[in-house]
Structure 1
Amino acid sequence: MTDAHITVHTEATIDRIAPEVHGHFAEHLGRCIYDGIWHGDRADESGFREDTVSLLAELDLPVLRWPGGCFADDYHWEDGIGPQEDRPRRRNLFWAQGPEETPEESNAFGTDEFLELCERIGTEPYLAANVGSGDPQEATDWVEYCNYDGDTELADRRRKNGHEEPYGVRYWGIGNENWGCGGQMTPEQYAREYRRFATYVGTTDNLLLDHDLELIACGFEGHEWNRRFLEEVNGSPWGAEFPLDHLTLHHYYGRTMTVAEADEDKYDRFLADALEMERHIERMAGAINAVATTRDIGVIIDEWGAWHPEATADNGLEQPGTVLDALSAAAVLDIFNDNSDVVTMTNIAQTVNVLQCLVETDADDAWARPTYRVFDLYAPHKGNDAVRTTVSTPARAVDDDRELPLIGASSSTGDDGTYVTLTNLDCRSAHDIDISLEGTTLDEGAVTAEILFADQEPELEVGPDNADEFTADDLAISVDGDGALTAALPPATVAAVSIR
């Protein structure tokens, strides 16, 4: 007998799921860039780790954010271009490079290397400009170096450095966490700085470029900050037009829980913390709608994911990759689908070796973590139309005022039919689920399904020897005489159902 019921309202479209919702984030932090993506101490070939590049290319990343993070607000991009031997070695106040905690940046991997990486793996770059210790000229010069096709010194310098054609970078972040490491600014102070930078960076797309730039402002998880920032921008001489296209926030969870040492009650609380993402999106969208009603401004979550106590400055913010973390990522991706009318991009932290990374490396190997498998399973949603999905599920209390819904789901429709993703967030028990598509009659030949983690415990960690054990398996799914689908999900699993 089923205990959870899912109804897919195939005609109730929310909005298109922007592929950028499956975006990623690579910061100069620990072993993310050096050893993870780039062999900085090697002189052979290009310097890229081909094993990492291959895994990232297979995942079809839509967008990649760089160089930070807090690193960005003490980074000066001109240090990282030109001949390697001429690049200065600089301090960075915020992040140590590698487990030896050296607060120095070699600049071996800079703008041209990052943009070559994006070309190799077929992804859009998203650059974060330095507001905390930089100035508008530095940011505008970076746009010119990357994007201008004219005859200026900066455009010629790009050509001399090996890239004749402009890169066409579209996404530009104006600062990072400027309420904290990016300058400890009040929302009003940041709004004034943002306007100053946007005046110069934003003018380039009318004067120098033949494409529009997407300007991204830094928001905060404390949502009163966002309202005050938007009101200050709104009170400027810009008038009805807002000089921004997106507003960001960061949401990490799990800061007090080591997965291997936790019990099932703590698993529940961790997953409930991940689901707080929906409340943050609603509050940010509410602030935008209340203040900036004359312009569409998208919500970007450009840092999110599990951050556990094991991830410290001493080890370059590395932590084990577990099934439980991957389960949380699936639950959050469902939230993004359900909010596709406001969420325009997200960037999980981080791409390689750091925090809830998708790829892990050691000296000789690179392998996919369980979260990589979730992104791969959810990939068919990208570019589809999200549709309303009603979930009737049992729930369990996690503290005095919160419950954890044990079953989650989201759905989308596209040229290949309907795609439904399911999560059993119950780490203790299996659940039988029925799924109905409103107004649709089904037969078994039109339905296929896959499942992740059916044979793994939530605390199971991935390594080079067991990474292949986390790939998806076929899931048995039945169709009854009324066209309803029924599936059994073991504890702590993620599934996807394709309906042609």
Structure 2
Amino acid sequence: MMKKLTTTLFIIGISIAAFAQETVSMQVNAKADKDKISRFIYGHFAEHLGRCIYDGFYLEDSTMNVPKQGRIRMDIVSALKTINIPLLRWPGGCFADRYHWSDGIGPKDKRPLRINSTWGMVPEDNSFGTDEFLQLCNLLNCEPYIAGNVGTGTPQQMSDWIEYLNFGGKSALADMRRANGHADPYKVAFWGVGNESWGCGGDMTPEYYADLYKRYAAFCLNYPGAPLKKIMSGANADDYNWTEVSMKNVRPNQMWGYSMHYYTIVNNWQHKGSATNFNEEEYFKGLKSCLHIEDLINKHSAIMDKYDPQKKVSLCVDEWGIWTDPEPGTNGAFLYQQNSLRDALIAASSLNIFNKHCDRIRMANLAQTVNVLQALVLTQKEKMVLTPTYYIFDLYKYHQDATLLPVSFFSPDYKYGEESIPAVNASASKDSNGVIHITLVNIDPKNKITINTSFNGAAFKTAEGQVLTSANFTDINTFDNPNKVKPAAFSDFKKNGNELSINLPPMSATLITLK
């Protein structure tokens, strides 16, 4: 009888343990004042790809009944201004190394019709060109980031493009800009010298590209009041040799930034997985793939530290996000995918990682802004829907240009089968008014996790919270139900003196604001 009772209690104990709520102790170092989280970590990317530019930012049908300025959709502009979009990268992507800027200036009826041979062999009428892009950035109140053509262009063409945009004196190119409606120089600072030069940008070796970068960069001139921030085309994911060769052959003072591209892939490049129809195994694999970016950052940063110990060069993650199979029934070359709660947690976790490494990462651009890959905005004629990922950027916007406050804790595991990954990730910052913002992610889809938080060097009187979660990790916002996944007020926390106990819901991203 005793043996049976013991066995019963043992089984009950296992059952209770399986559903026990984990408790984590977290310390926030509010005395830290060393590193700033650059606002450019919250940048975005718009390529001439599918419906990102045309039928996205830029109306193909100018009679469409939406707010607009010229052909620019102002409802999209308004939504992006709400999240304080700091930077927009254009015109690519792979498209950049086939794009000739002179095709996209001057009267629209004189601009040549080309073929977008990079994305779907569709017509490119060049109606959205340099001046339209700079008009968009002005409306967004964000910095432009132009990716220059190294693949099929020449140093002369890139040099001319910069003169057209940045020279305030008298010259044929500056006068051409004035004739096209912009008297003052645009003073564009951020310039990518090529894109993915290891692949679609020319299939180059790192040794060849390093020499080519120096040649192009030498003719990218600083005009009065318009110094350039030149960005070298860096590694694809775990190509550490590319970083080694690049940093060895190009001096830190020859570049502002060095790029790295990494996409979250659930399965493999041939069968990436559905954006909406996936199970917990695929959910787990997606989050595991997302978190792997920190391993890449650590290893690339270690190589950069050998040649740039003062961290003068920014590691720019200027393409990142989840890449799934295109939505059924759409043009596969247009890379249109839906956006779920899972994708929002991938965005939130990635941003927490970028914040943590802000001593080296000073730019990151989510791919892409509208209607392509992990988009913030989806459109269907006059309709517009904000995705779960959009709301992550709304919650996280308070970190922009704030001081990083290091956090330390041991995360419990989220286990699936024989594998496990950390269930919790977080970042904290203090803004110029002394307000502390903490963003916390619980990727465990079943278990609530309590975070007992203490603060070294800070006291607060009030605490407020917002949370993004939903009933299922496959939940999405649609044109018929646009508010299914949206932030809500969050109050499941307790203040005890100068400590805070926060109960994170399963599969959630939470913002805590302390004043």
Shorter-chain TM-score range = over 0.9
* Residue type at the aligned position of 1:289: D
Per the alignment, residue 80 of structure 1 pairs with 104
Matched, 1:361 2:379: yes
The structure 1 residue matched to 2:256, chosen from 245, 250, 266, is 245
* Residue type at the aligned position of 2:228: L
User: For 1:184-225, what per-residue CA distance to the aligned partner results, in whole angstroms no more than 9, with x for missing partners?
Assistant: 000001011101100100xx21xx332311000011121111
Based on CA coordinates, which of the two structures has the bigger radius of gyration? Answer: 2
The structure 2 residue matched to 1:382, chosen from 388, 392, 400, is 400
- The 2-side partners of 1:14 and 1:273 are apart by 30
* Residue type at the aligned position of 2:501: T
- The 1-side partners of 2:359 and 2:205 are apart by 29
Report if the CA contact (8 A) 2:258-2:313 is conserved: yes
- The 2-side partners of 1:31 and 1:480 are apart by 47
Greater shift, 8-17 or 42-51, is seen at 42-51
- The 1-side partners of 2:166 and 2:152 are apart by 23
Matched, 1:284 2:300: yes
Per the alignment, residue 137 of structure 1 pairs with 156
Report if the CA contact (8 A) 1:264-1:428 is conserved: no
Matched, 1:449 2:465: yes
SS at match of 2:250: helix
Greater shift, 127-136 or 33-42, is seen at 33-42
Matched, 1:232 2:273: no
In structure 2, do the counterparts of structure 1 residues 243 and 313 end up closer, same or farther at CA, with 3 Å as the change threshold? Answer: farther
User: For 1:54-106, what per-residue CA distance to the aligned partner results, in whole angstroms no more than 9, with x for missing partners?
Assistant: 2122222100000000000000000000000000011233112xxxxx43311
SS at match of 1:326: helix
Greater shift, 289-298 or 456-465, is seen at 289-298
Q: CA deviation at 1:258?
A: 2.0
Q: CA deviation at 1:315?
A: 5.2
- The 1-side partners of 2:276 and 2:111 are apart by 43
Per the alignment, residue 404 of structure 1 pairs with 421
In structure 2, do the counterparts of structure 1 residues 440 and 210 end up closer, same or farther at CA, with 3 Å as the change threshold? Answer: closer
TM-score (norm 1): 0.92
- The 2-side partners of 1:112 and 1:495 are apart by 39
Q: CA deviation at 1:253?
A: 0.8
* Residue type at the aligned position of 1:334: N
Report if the CA contact (8 A) 1:442-1:479 is conserved: no
The structure 2 residue matched to 1:115, chosen from 134, 151, 167, is 134
Q: CA deviation at 1:13?
A: 3.9
Report if the CA contact (8 A) 1:72-1:176 is conserved: yes
- The 1-side partners of 2:129 and 2:483 are apart by 33
Per the alignment, residue 46 of structure 1 pairs with 70
Matched, 1:458 2:473: yes
Per the alignment, residue 38 of structure 2 pairs with 18
TM-score (norm 2): 0.89
Q: CA deviation at 1:276?
A: 1.2
Greater shift, 410-419 or 156-165, is seen at 410-419
Matched, 1:254 2:265: yes
Greater shift, 288-297 or 102-111, is seen at 288-297
* Residue type at the aligned position of 1:435: T
User: For 1:295-325, what per-residue CA distance to the aligned partner results, in whole angstroms no more than 9, with x for missing partners?
Assistant: 7111000000000123686251011111100
Matched, 1:200 2:219: yes
Per the alignment, residue 499 of structure 2 pairs with 484
- The 2-side partners of 1:187 and 1:129 are apart by 18
SS at match of 2:162: helix
* Residue type at the aligned position of 2:246: F
For 1:76-475, list aligned pairs within 5 A. 76-96=100-120, 102-201=121-220, 204-205=221-222, 208-220=223-235, 221=237, 222-234=239-251, 242-255=253-266, 256-293=272-309, 296-310=312-326, 314=332, 316-397=334-415, 403-414=420-431, 415-443=433-461, 446-453=462-469, 455-475=470-490
- The 2-side partners of 1:403 and 1:231 are apart by 37
SS at match of 2:429: strand
Percent same amino acid among aligned pairs? 37
Q: Which runs of 5+ in 1 are unaligned?
A: 97-101, 235-240
In structure 2, do the counterparts of structure 1 residues 483 and 477 end up closer, same or farther at CA, with 3 Å as the change threshold? Answer: farther
Q: CA deviation at 1:478?
A: 3.7
- The 1-side partners of 2:416 and 2:86 are apart by 35
TM-align CA RMSD: 1.9
Q: CA deviation at 1:267?
A: 1.2
- The 2-side partners of 1:85 and 1:399 are apart by 60
- The 1-side partners of 2:367 and 2:499 are apart by 38
Per the alignment, residue 5 of structure 2 pairs with none
- The 2-side partners of 1:381 and 1:34 are apart by 31
Q: CA deviation at 1:435?
A: 1.6
- The 2-side partners of 1:492 and 1:86 are apart by 52
- The 2-side partners of 1:22 and 1:13 are apart by 20
SS at match of 2:53: coil
* Residue type at the aligned position of 1:194: Y
- The 1-side partners of 2:362 and 2:417 are apart by 32
Report if the CA contact (8 A) 2:166-2:187 is conserved: yes
- The 2-side partners of 1:58 and 1:295 are apart by 32
Q: CA deviation at 1:233?
A: 2.5
The structure 2 residue matched to 1:8, chosen from 24, 28, 35, is 28
Report if the CA contact (8 A) 2:31-2:458 is conserved: no
- The 1-side partners of 2:126 and 2:56 are apart by 15
- The 2-side partners of 1:476 and 1:88 are apart by 57
Q: CA deviation at 1:5?
A: 2.4
Report if the CA contact (8 A) 1:14-1:388 is conserved: no
Report if the CA contact (8 A) 2:24-2:411 is conserved: yes
Q: CA deviation at 1:40?
A: 2.9
- The 2-side partners of 1:152 and 1:447 are apart by 57
Report if the CA contact (8 A) 1:40-1:108 is conserved: no
